[in-house]
Each structure stands twice: as structure tokens, then as C-alpha cells.
Amino acid sequence: MFRFGSALETVNILNFAYEIGYIAKQVKEEMYEKAEKLTRKLRSFSRALDD
């Protein structure tokens, strides 16, 4: 479960960076999409290991 927590922590850091003006909204959205894709891949991999 650690891998999902790390992905979620990254999303939280992206939100914080956006809120304080460190990154632009477009960058936040692009990185969020990448985090979503990574999370889906991790879930698929985890399911494959359980089979």
C-alpha cells in the first residue's frame, strides 16, 4: 500500500505548490494526470501479483 500513499503524497505536494504560486495551474494539471496514470498502473500491477 506504500506505493499508493506516495502517489497521493505527490498530489498533495502539487496542490500545495500551486496554492503558494510555485507552479502554474497547467503544470499542476499535467502532473496530476501523470499521477493518475501511475496509480492506475500500480493497481493493475498489484492485481496481477495477487492472481
pLDDT score of 3: 66
CA distance 39 to 17: 20
Cell numbers linked to 3: 506505493
Radius of gyration of the chain (CA): 13
Left, alpha or beta for 19 (phi > 0: left; psi -120 to 50: alpha)? alpha
Left, alpha or beta for 21 (phi > 0: left; psi -120 to 50: alpha)? left
Cell numbers linked to 32: 496530476
pLDDT tens per residue across all 51 residues of the chain: 556 778 788 889 999 999 999 999 999 999 999 989 988 888 888 888 887
